Amino acid sequence: MTTVIEKGSILVHRVFDVAGEISLGRAEHLLSADAKDPRLKFPTDTRKAIIIKDSPLKTDLGAETLNLPSGNFPVRIFARIWNYGVISVTLELAIPRGMQWTGLIKTAAELEASEEIELLAVSRKDALKARIMPAVTNPADWEIREDYITYIIEKADGSGDPREFIKKVDIAALILAEDKEHLVDEHRNILAESATQYSSSDLAIIDWNSALLIEPDGQRDVADVIEFSLTHLLEFRYYDEMLGRKLEELYDAMETKRESVANIFKNFYADIAEDSSRKYMEFSEFLGRVENSLKTVGDPYLAVVFRASALEFHFDDWRKTISRKMETLAQITQILHGEVNTRRSHWLEIIIILLIAVEMVPMLLDLWKFLR
């Protein structure tokens, strides 16, 4: 029996690191002329409530038509601005009423392969960044970005019982956007076992590349938490690359051996060490933000979703890798400081000896005259 989708939507995310920091208050003022509901607000009813410190700004970026091989899809584009220098752009497509599950899988594969999505997201990001530039500190455009797709099913054949629904549809093919190969049941079972639920009518399957949400009431709080997690993943990747570059700088500095008589009173490594210390503080602050970013009140379902996202995005692995690099960076910096200080001490000893010798020259001259 073919599964037909009556109502649903697709959220296509692109997440960019554009700055060291963004003043949300200033950005909100700059966007206030056309911003509608600019701050991200999660539901505060008895079902669940969530608080995000420094909640992001949300702004509507207009509508477009996305051209896919299977047809043209109207899309609404909006963005969120996060205070730690990230802009996430989301394209929202409504799933056509009556689309079959196989058609959704085909659309998923087309979305994964689409280059137009990237162009749309980048152009909207660039335009938005230009508008809020006065609120941006240390602007930059990191070439790496995160991409993710969230499929939201509000109504479909058999979706009233989500657990039974995911047994009869090929969720693995949708999550992996695989419309040509028939995947083995092992993939389905793994994904089904990872599903989380708050009630008997909803369900969330979160994978590393995409997620399937069954939300009869159309709520977007779970999707928002996934997007929130994506911004953290991008920051983990940024700090990992940044620390890698810093280590390479230190290794190169050790090889060049630029210390000489001309710069014995200048610590060549001091700038690198100072910058490394600053980055260490930034990363420590970032880790604290990750650990304390979600504070739930009442039923902690969204915290469960966040932890599931963190597991799929390998937050712990990134944290451990970066921590090891931080320790290596600190150790090398200390060694270099010790080496430079030792060299300074040697040169100071030589200078003192020379000064003593200079002071003794008049005395030796007088002695020579006396002996004559």
Residue 166's pLDDT is what?
A: 87
What are the structure tokens assigned to 198, written together? 């708050």
Q: What is the pLDDT of residues 288-325, one digit of tens each?
A: 766 665 554 445 788 888 888 989 999 989 988 988 88
Residue 366, Cα to own-chain centre: how many angstroms? Answer: 76
Residue 44's pLDDT is what?
A: 40
What are the structure tokens assigned to 212, written together? 């399937």
- Count Cα atoms within 13 angstroms, Cβ side, for 73: 27
Q: Which residues, at least 6 apart from 346, have a Cβ–Cβ distance to it below 8 Å?
A: none
Residue 273's pLDDT is what?
A: 62
Residue 290's pLDDT is what?
A: 65
Q: What is the pLDDT of residues 14-42, one digit of tens each?
A: 999 999 889 988 998 888 865 554 454 44
Query: Is-above-0.85 flag for pTM?
Result: no
Beta bridge partners of residue 148, listed in sequence order:
13
Residue 182's pLDDT is what?
A: 65
Q: Which residues, at least 6 apart from 317, have a Cβ–Cβ distance to it below 8 Å?
A: none
Q: Which residues, at least 6 apart from 122, have a Cβ–Cβ distance to it below 8 Å?
A: 14, 16
Could you tell me whether strands 99-100 and 4-17 are parallel, antiparallel, or unpaired per DSSP bridges? Answer: antiparallel
Q: Which residues, at least 6 apart from 235, have a Cβ–Cβ distance to it below 8 Å?
A: 17, 84, 86, 286
Residue 184's pLDDT is what?
A: 63
Mean pLDDT, the chain cut into blocks of 10 residues (372 residues total): 87 94 89 58 43 78 92 94 93 94 93 93 95 92 92 88 86 83 68 84 92 91 91 90 82 62 53 67 72 56 86 90 83 70 74 81 73 66
One-character DSSP codes across 131-183: HTGGGEEEE---S-EEEEEEEEEEEETTTTSHHHHHHHS-HHHHHTT-SSSPP
CB atoms within 10 A of CB 273: 20
Could you tell me whether strands 210-214 and 145-156 are parallel, antiparallel, or unpaired per DSSP bridges? Answer: parallel
Residue 45's pLDDT is what?
A: 41
C-alpha closest to that of 18 among 134, 145, 148, 119: 145
Residue 335's pLDDT is what?
A: 72
